Structure 1
Amino acid sequence: MRSKSSRSRPEPDDQATELDRTDRRILKLLQEDATLSNVALAEQVSLSPAACLRRVEKLKRDGVISRVVAHLDPEQLQAGMVVLIGVVLDRSTPESFAAFEESAQKVSGCMECHVVTGEFDYFMLVRTRDSQSFNRLHAEQLLYLPGVRQIRSFMGLREVVSTHKVPI
C-alpha cells in the first residue's frame, strides 16, 4: 500500500491505493460485518492483532475505509418504499446543476443522487413510507427543486438486490 497524508478525507489521487491479498480479505470481512473485533478479524486473516489493527488504521487513513455505519432495516423504520426518480433540468449550466444538487441534498428520504448520462440529468433514490407519503413529498418538495423541467418517478415493487458491498 502507498502512503498518503494523514488528513481525515484524503484528496483523490491519480492512482488507487495498492491493496494486497490480506488488505482485500480485511475489507471483504469488514463489509460483511464491521462489528468484528480486531482480535477476531486478525485471526481470520492470519495476522497478529497489532498488525491487523495497523492495516485497518492505514486503510482508514488512506480513505479506502471512508466510514463505518450501521445498516438499518427500512421496513422497521417506516421507509420501506423505494422510489427511483429521473430528473431532467431545463438548462445544462454549472449554475443550474449546482442549485439542483444543493437542493437535492435536503429532500426528505433521499438516499442517493447521481448525475447520469442519457435521457435524464439525475437519478435520485428516495425511501418513503408508502405511495401517499411519496405523493406528499412530490407535492411539497420535488416540484420545487430548482431548474427542473421534468420528473419521472418509478416505484419499486419488490427488492431483488440491495447491497452496500463494493466489489473487491
Structure 2
Amino acid sequence: MAESDKKLSLDPTDLRVLELLQNDASLSNQDLAAAAHTSPATCLRRVKRLVEAGVIERRVAILSPEKLGAGLTVLAEITLDRQGAEHLAAFEARAVAEPAVQQCYRVSPGPDFMLVMQAPDMAGYHALVQRLFTQDANVRNVKAFFNVHRAKFEPRIALPVIG
C-alpha cells in the first residue's frame, strides 16, 4: 500500500486544527495554535503533516460570485453518446480545463457527468455552451438547472467527534 493510501490517524488536536482551518484558513500559525490549545511549533508540524498526507488539499478564499459579476450558477447533467474510458476521459479533461467549471463529477446512474459552472449571465452561459458542449460531437444531452436562490453554500467536511 502506498504511503498516501494509508488511513491517517487523527486525534482531537488534529480535528480541532482542521475545524479551525475550515472556519478561517487565513489564521496565522500563532492564532491557530492558540485556538487549538497547542504550541505554535506543534501546530505547524501538525498542519505540515496534514498537508503532506493530503488531508488538507489546499487553502483558498471563497469569493462572492455576485460581487464579481459571475452571478449565474448552473448545475448541468451531461450525457455522452459513447461512454468508453477514453471518451469519458476526453470530456472530463475538457470540462476541468474550462475556467467556468467549478466542479466536475462523473456520476452513476443517470447522466455521465454533473458540472457546477459559474457564468456572468445568460449570454455568458450561451458562450460556455458553445465552447464546452455544442462543439463536442460526443455530447448527447445537456440538462441545465439555473440557480434562482442559494440557501446554503458550505464547502466544509463534517469531522468526527472524538471523545
**Same fold, TM exceeding 0.5?**
yes
CA contact (8 A) 1:88 1:121 kept: yes
- 2:42 counterpart residue number: 51
Could you report, residue by residue, the CA deviation over 1:12-68 in whole angstroms, capped at 9, with x for unpaired residues?
Answer: x1x421101110110000111011111111111111111111111111111111111
Kept in 2, the 8 Å contact 1:104–1:145? The answer is no
Aligned residue among 147, 158, 161 for 1:167? 158
Aligned to 1:121: 112
- Scaled by the length of structure 2, what TM-score is found? 0.90
Give unpaired runs (5+ residues) of structure 1. 5-10
State whether residues 78 and 142 of structure 2, in contact with CA within 8 Å, keep that contact through their aligned partners in structure 1: yes
5+ long unaligned stretches in structure 2: none
Moved over 4 A (4+): none
Tell me, yes or no, if structure 1 residue 139 matches structure 2 residue 140: no
Q: State the superposition RMSD in angstroms.
A: 1.4
| Structure richer in helix, relative to its length | 2
Give the aligned partner of residue 31 of structure 1.
Answer: 22
Distance change >3 Å, CA 108–CA 42, structure 1 → 2: closer
The residue type paired with residue 164 of structure 1 is P
Pairs aligned (count): 157
Q: For the structure 1 residues 21 and 146, does the alpha-carbon distance in structure 2 shift closer, same or farther, using more than 3 Å as the test?
A: farther
Residue 154 of structure 1: SS of its match in structure 2? strand
Q: 1:52 to 1:146 in 2, by over 3 A?
A: farther
1:35 and 1:107 map into 2 onto residues whose CA distance is 27
Distance 1:36 1:154 in 2: 36
Q: Which residue number corresponds to residue 7 of structure 1?
A: none
Among the aligned pairs, what percent are the same residue?
36
